[in-house]
Amino acid sequence: MTQLSPTTTNTETLKTTKSSAANSSTPATISTDVSPWIQPELEKSPDHTLELLRETKHMINSLQDREKRLKGDIEKLYQDGSLAALVDEENSQKYNGPGVSVMLVPGKSKKQWSPEVQSEIDKLQRQILKLEYEAERKHMYTETKGQDYWRVNLTKDQ
């Protein structure tokens, strides 16, 4: 059997295999080269990348609109009782379908303060704003910069 070194190429392996095919008692050798295949990097076009980003943003917006419409449909189905057969055994506000579950989440509570309390809150908020203004004027603060990020906006032209 022919021994292959780690630097043996596929061509050398192919030649060895062809020659050993003529002698059926000699098994074909297998390359011992275990280095991973590295895909060549293609140069990326800025126009192509921006076009893909635009298409992706359109798809995301379209899917968000679709999700909103479907949630409206779920609300109608819930109100007319069509979801009753899909109710979860452990949570009566959860409905299970094939590969998806939906849950009715109660709306958040918001406190409505009495006029006296609201007046006091407004007064304190004005004091806070005045204190922040004075501190900023005297440069009594430090600024920290957050991480940069990309914002994607669609333009009207397409």
Q: Is residue 59 part of a domain?
A: yes
Q: Is residue 24 part of a domain?
A: no
Flag whether pLDDT at 147 surpasses 60.
yes
What HEC string does the chain produce? CCCCCCCCCHHHHHHHHHHHHHCCCCCCCCCCCCCCCCCCCCCCCHHHHHHHHHHHHHHHHHHHHHHHHHHHHHHHHHHCCCCHHHECCCCCCEEEECCEEEECCCCCCCCCCCHHHHHHHHHHHHHHHHHHHHHHHCCCCCCCCCCCCCCCCCCCCC
Which of 21-25, 74-78, 140-144 shows the lowest per-residue confidence on average (mean pLDDT)? 21-25
- Check residue 75 and give its pLDDT: 94
Q: Is residue 148 part of a domain?
A: no
- Check residue 153 and give its pLDDT: 82
For residue 131, the one-letter residue type is L
Q: What's the pTM?
A: 0.56
CB 153 within 8 A of CB 60: no
- Check residue 41 and give its pLDDT: 79
Q: Is residue 40 part of a domain?
A: no
CB 8 within 8 A of CB 32: yes
The domain in which residue 93 lies consists of: 46-103
Q: What is the pLDDT of residues 39-95, one digit of tens each?
A: 877 788 899 999 999 999 999 999 999 999 999 999 999 999 999 999 999 999 999
Q: What is the pLDDT of residues 96-128, one digit of tens each?
A: 999 999 999 999 999 999 999 999 999 999 999
Q: Is residue 78 part of a domain?
A: yes
Flag whether pLDDT at 8 surpasses 80.
no
Q: Is residue 142 part of a domain?
A: no
Q: Is residue 11 part of a domain?
A: no
Q: Is residue 153 part of a domain?
A: no
- Check residue 40 and give its pLDDT: 77
Q: Which two tokens stand for residue 125?
A: 């908020």
How many structural domains does the chain have? 1
- Check residue 26 and give its pLDDT: 67
